[in-house]
Structures are given as C-alpha cells and as structure tokens.
Amino acid sequence: MSTGNRNNHEIDYKLYGEELQFVEIELDPQETAIAESGAMMMMDDGITMQTIFGDGSAQQPTGFFGKLVSAGKRVLTGESLFMTAFTNEGQGKKKVSFAAPYTGKIIPMDLRELGGTIIAQKDAFLCAAKGVSVGIHFQRKLGVGIFGGEGFIMEKLEGDGMAFLHAGGYIVEKTLNAGEVLKIDTGCVVAYTPTMQFDIEFVKGVKNFLFGGEGLFFARLQGPGKVWVQSLPISRLAGRIVAYGTYKRKEEGSVLGGLGNLFDGKE
C-alpha cells in the first residue's frame, strides 16, 4: 500500500478464508472504518460503534435533510439507509472484522491507485476506510439501463482510501488497453473504472438467443481501464436453489427413484 498522505483514513487489512471470506481491518487510535449494517463479524475491546446516515464522508451534505437525501439515494442501490462507523477509541492498534454475506470473494481496492472512482454493481459494497464516499451512478444509455443486468442505478465509490467489495464465485481482474473490447455476461460484471465504455450488445443468431441459454445481450466493455468479473452472480445461484428446492423429486431415497431422476435429467 502506498505510504503517501491520504484524505481518507489509512487502514491495514488481512483477508481470511477462500470461498467464505472475511476481512480483518487494523485501526490505529482514532482511525475509523465504515461498513454496511450487519457486516460486522467481531471486534476488539476499545472499538466503538456509531450508526450514521450515509457514509460519513466529506462529500455528504450537511444538515439532517441533506444527509437523509444522501442516505436515501443509497437505498436505490439496494444498500441500507444507515451505515455503521467503527472507531478505535482505545490505546494501541485494534482490529475489527467484516464477513462476506455469501460464498465468493472479497475484493480489496485502493481507490487512490485506481484513479479515485470505481463503478460497482448494486449490493457489492462491504466496508471501507472512513472518508470513502459511497454514492450512486446513473447509467445514461437507455439500452444499458434496461438490458445491462444492473439497471439504471449502480454504486459509485469515490476517495483515496481502501474499499472492499464482495462478489460471487471466483473473481477475475482484467486490464483492457485503449480500444480493446471484452464481452461479458451481463450478470457477471462486478465493477469497472469510469474510463471504461460500458454498453450492451445484442446476441447474433436466432438459434443463439432462443436456445443458447445465455440471454439476449452481452455487456460490452471497451478500454482503457480495469474490470472485475465474477464467475457466479448471486442471482444465478439463487435461481438454481429455487429451481432445485421447488422441484418435486422422485423417491430420492430409493434405487427406482434414482433411476427416474437420471432419465428426467434432475440428478
């Protein structure tokens, strides 16, 4: 991590686990981390919690009404109206840990090294150093908003501190050069730098979009910039769980039932 001065609080961290991860953040005295409500896993004695409107950043409007509007915008991205600030009020270094909400990976992002801004999918934010602004980003292109998989509203993280996102399955970071294009399943886009051109592309061929099972559109990202891709969107996982749980299995405990499941493709 760079050692220069930051406007946001400078925090150290360590990731634990593989598929079900948590991040441990080390706070010096009077340092603060912010997180989504319910993300906290454990913390040392000496760390205090404070529930706040929005993210508590300098970009947040002053006054109750301004803070309420700012926090209310975050509800549009699927996040909570409130956030929690964890401050080390004790002596010496203290640690606080935040857990991922489902199987996948936690992505640490140094916003200063990434140009100060990241556009992310809704619900991706987990925690960050105090001062990082967690706002909203509107998709200006009609096609992207309707067919891009994330709707018109996404999250926008701004600042020069550390932020942590969470996504499903395995995470791949791709760096695209100027003019280089990457086509991605619309649900697999986790985050990208704002230098990217984000558009949608229609799947060519009648048989492809009728029987291919990949949907009608790709997300089309053109460099320069970085994009983070997830292998298992939570919507896809949830869909499979619902389909499996609501399908009436044939005598799962018997030999004949097992043969029936093989024939109907549900084994």
Q: pLDDT tens for residues 35-62?
A: 988 899 999 999 999 988 766 675 555 5
Lowest mean pLDDT among 63-77, 122-136, 160-174: 63-77
Total number of domains in the chain:
1
Q: Reply yes or no on whether the pLDDT at 151 is more than 60.
A: no
Asked, for residue 25, whether it belongs to a domain, the answer is yes
Residues of the domain holding 47: 12-169
- Whole-number Å distance between alpha carbons of 32 and 96: 10
Q: What mean pLDDT do residues 95-109 have?
A: 94
First to last CA, the chain: 48
Q: State the CB neighbour count (10 A cutoff) for residue 189.
A: 26
Q: Is residue 115 part of a domain?
A: yes
CA distance 143 to 181: 18
227 located within any domain: no
Omega cis (within 30) before 224: yes
User: In this model, does residue 69 exceed pLDDT 80?
Assistant: no
Confidence (pLDDT) at 59: 57
| 253 or 13, greater pLDDT | 13
Q: Does residue 112 form part of some domain?
A: yes
- Between 150 and 105, the more confident residue is 105
Assign residue 47 the CATH number of its domain.
Answer: 3.60.160.10
Q: Which residue has the higher pLDDT, 5 or 165?
A: 165
pLDDT of residue 231: 92
Q: Is residue 177 part of a domain?
A: no
pTM: 0.78
Strand order through the sheet with 171-176: 133-138, 153-158, 117-120, 189-192, 225-230, 171-176
Residue 32: pLDDT band by 50, 70, 90 thresholds? very high
Q: Which residues contact 204 (CB under 8 A, 6 or more apart)?
A: none
186 domain-assigned: no
CA-nearest of 33, 223, 55, 212 to 133 is: 55
C-alpha 104/C-alpha 233 separation (Å) is: 9
Q: Calculate the alpha carbon distances from 123 to 127, 130, 185, 213 in Å.
A: 11, 19, 18, 25
The pair of three-digit structure tokens given for residue 34, joined into one six-digit string = 């912010």
Residues 134 and 137: their CA atoms lie apart, in Å, by 10
Residue 195 lies in a domain: no
Alpha-carbon gap, residue 120 to 27, rounded angstroms: 26
Question: pLDDT at residue 235 above 70?
Answer: yes
Predicted local confidence at residue 168, as pLDDT? 92
Residue 213 lies in a domain: no
